[in-house]
Structure 1
Amino acid sequence: MHTCNYLFLACVAPLVLGLNENFQAWKQHFGKQYRNSREENYRYGIWKRNLDLVYRNNKDNTSGFLMEMNKFADEKCGGYRKPSVSKTFPVNLNMLYSDDVPDSFDWRKKGAVSPVKNQGQMGSALAFATVDSIESMHFIKTGQLVDLSTRELVQCCNASMMSPTFDCVQKLGGICSAASYPDSHTCQSKQCTPVAKVTGVTQVKKGDEGDLKIAVYRQPVVTAVDASHSSFQLYRSGVYYEPRCSSTRLDHALLVVGYGTLEGKDFWIAKNSWGINWGMKGYILMSRNKNNNCGIATSAMYPDGM
């Protein structure tokens, strides 16, 4: 007798009977609608393959993390992301010397991290992570956590590369609050008053997780990762480690807000932009000190500002 259902949070036996019924229940749960039967059959095929993948991962949990049939279970890897955040640009590199940092730290406990957002159809995870980082920087400097306009960044900047995105915010004179930015399909930055300003950007030493730890202790850090695997797409909980991950082919952006250790496994606390129903209420614990797994420290930087 199996204990699995369409949410597949933790399985101890494969789901054999009622496969289509579970797919239909999964569709209803996530409000999925397809254009025609051909597309539904195509999505159903992907869903079944992911179901098998989740079962195989969760049945003995040797990977150290759990997967689930979340809202992305009918999508191929990468179908919902915009790539190209891997290239790095010359920035103001301030050397980080201090090793006087705690073994664990979490900016959420300081009130410095805004609620998890859902990029949805807007796309551009980099824009969301960049705005999140500026919100945190602004809080650390002023004590005020303001919901800044991701729409402004998407409409007024080419949010596909990290350093130029921060440069764009600097040239705009800052970024407006979400509440004050006009509802429009074109850039309206001149129609609102900037709340947070960026004066520069500091890049973490490429591939150095020690530098990243010090940087994160200073303030939340934007980083690019390889998120092209189903294990990331369907992540549920635990310390995520993907042996097939690349440290150079990076296609997604996250905000690193802390770090720690769980049952002997070091991790980074990373905020995603796929809503609170993905992962650990919108967060993922990325492996730390595992040879820069998924490129967590390859292209990481944080804004300077006022």
Structure 2
Amino acid sequence: MPLYICILNRTCFKMKLLLLFTVASLCALGSFAKANECRAQQFVHFIRKYNKEYSSPAEFFSRMRAYMRHCREIYEHNERYEKGLETFEKGINQFADSYEDERYFTGELPATDDPEEFENLPSDFFRNKYYMPKEVDWRKRGAVTPVKDQGPCASCWAFGTTAALESHYVIQMKNNLTDLSEQSLLDCDTHSFGCNGGLTSNAFKFVAKHGIAREVDYPYTHVKGPCQCKEKGCSDHPKIGKILQGRFRKEETLMEVVAFFGPVAFVFDGSVASFLQYKKGVYSASDCRANTKSHSMAIVGYGTENGQDYWLVKNSWGYGWGDKGYIKIARNKNNFCGVINKIFLPVYKVKH
């Protein structure tokens, strides 16, 4: 895959030399870089690592400026992290060359559903509140599938849904861990808009009515295509009987649900630059907005790290993002970013 676009019949070799010389010169002059970590060679490595392709030299330079700016921000933030002034570390990832206006539509559309559309969690979910474990990780119980990557498609609404469904297929149905098909939701949920976004609530409703295929039968392609649900066996998979919603007043209530019932899907502000740059630690940022819900993920546990309480969250940006595809989001911090405001739980039709 080429690193740069060749224009007319000029050789790529000459263009590469010109671009690399220019980038190196800009870095040497200190136009963009603050530290040795932000060098032209690092940008070239970034392009190769993430298979980046740009449409023109103008876009190349524009993306380079964005990369250098983000690199500087990350470097300065991590200096504060090393001094104990920040609770999380940032890192270079696939979003390092993004523009400000690309931060970032990941797929969850503004909700239009009635807040009372789904059943509330029954009171007997909370009968064990006096025996709360201090730490929960459903991965260790074999109830969480490997991290996936939604790629260049605003389909987080499908991934947050399947993450919860996959876990409860094990917990409620006592079946083996099974990857379910985001593509079947992408192609067939007519109330959502494929790679242009959707609603986690609509995805659950689709599964309740039509079922969902297995990933092996209906694999993910990163683009919306014609619906093949009937051919790919959506109805063969057990349907969910109902969708439970939670809009909690206290984070302790969500802890009880996660501890005694299992992982949940939720929606979060995924547009904040620091969220895109997360690498490890307990994430907390003052500009994360409680009422902005642009990204769907799954809470699969909770715990405490270096005195900081956190929610253990599975993302859909690949294994190389964050902490091997996961993020620890601040817990017991005044409902940070509205984490308890919109929770979804699937309940399968269990045969007795």
TM-score scaled to structure 1, two decimals? 0.89
Q: How far apart, in 2, do the equivalents of 1:250 and 1:133 lie?
A: 18
Unaligned runs of 5+ in 1: 1-12
Matched position secondary structure for 1:258 = strand
1:302 is displaced (CA, Å) by 1.0
Aligned to 1:58: 78
User: 1:147-296 counterparts in 2 under 5 A?
Assistant: 147-157=179-189, 158-159=191-192, 160-172=198-210, 174-181=211-218, 185-193=225-233, 194-217=236-259, 218-296=261-339
Structure-2 change in CA distance of 1:244 and 1:54 (3 Å): same
Matched position secondary structure for 1:34 = coil
Is the Cα contact below 8 Å between 1:224 and 1:296 reproduced in 2? yes
Is the Cα contact below 8 Å between 2:200 and 2:296 reproduced in 1? no
Aligned to 2:195: none
Structure-2 change in CA distance of 1:299 and 1:87 (3 Å): farther
Q: How far apart, in 2, do the equivalents of 1:196 and 1:37 lie?
A: 51
Is the Cα contact below 8 Å between 1:88 and 1:162 reproduced in 2? no
1:92 and 2:119 matched:
yes
Larger deviation, residues 228-237 vs 93-102: 93-102
Unaligned runs of 5+ in 2: 1-32, 193-197
Q: How far apart, in 2, do the equivalents of 1:117 and 1:241 lie?
A: 24
Q: 1:104 aligns with which of 131, 135, 138?
A: 135
Aligned to 2:17: none
Structure-2 change in CA distance of 1:207 and 1:47 (3 Å): farther
Matched position secondary structure for 2:208 = helix
Matched position secondary structure for 1:276 = coil
Aligned to 1:81: 106
1:16 is displaced (CA, Å) by 4.9
Matched position secondary structure for 1:269 = strand
TM-score scaled to structure 2, two decimals? 0.78
Aligned to 2:39: 19
Q: How far apart, in 2, do the equivalents of 1:16 and 1:114 lie?
A: 38
**CA shift digits 1:100-130 (9 cap, x unpaired):** 3211101000000001000013431110110
1:32 is displaced (CA, Å) by 1.3
1:69 and 2:92 matched:
yes
Q: How far apart, in 2, do the equivalents of 1:18 and 1:265 lie?
A: 30
Structure-2 change in CA distance of 1:87 and 1:237 (3 Å): farther
Aligned to 1:5: none
Larger deviation, residues 243-252 vs 97-106: 97-106
Aligned to 2:16: none
Q: Decide which structure has the larger Cα Rg and report it.
A: 2
1:113 and 2:128 matched:
no
**CA RMSD, 1 decimal:** 2.1
**CA shift digits 1:266-288 (9 cap, x unpaired):** 00000000000000110000000
For 2:126, the aligned partner's letter is: Y
Q: How far apart, in 2, do the equivalents of 1:53 and 1:298 lie?
A: 30
Is the Cα contact below 8 Å between 1:203 and 1:300 reproduced in 2? yes
Q: How far apart, in 2, do the equivalents of 1:129 and 1:244 lie?
A: 23
Matched position secondary structure for 1:270 = strand
Q: How far apart, in 2, do the equivalents of 1:18 and 1:93 lie?
A: 50
For 1:262, the aligned partner's letter is: E
1:85 is displaced (CA, Å) by 5.1
Structure-2 change in CA distance of 1:39 and 1:91 (3 Å): same
Aligned to 1:30: 50
Q: How far apart, in 2, do the equivalents of 1:275 and 1:298 lie?
A: 26
Structure-2 change in CA distance of 1:17 and 1:187 (3 Å): closer
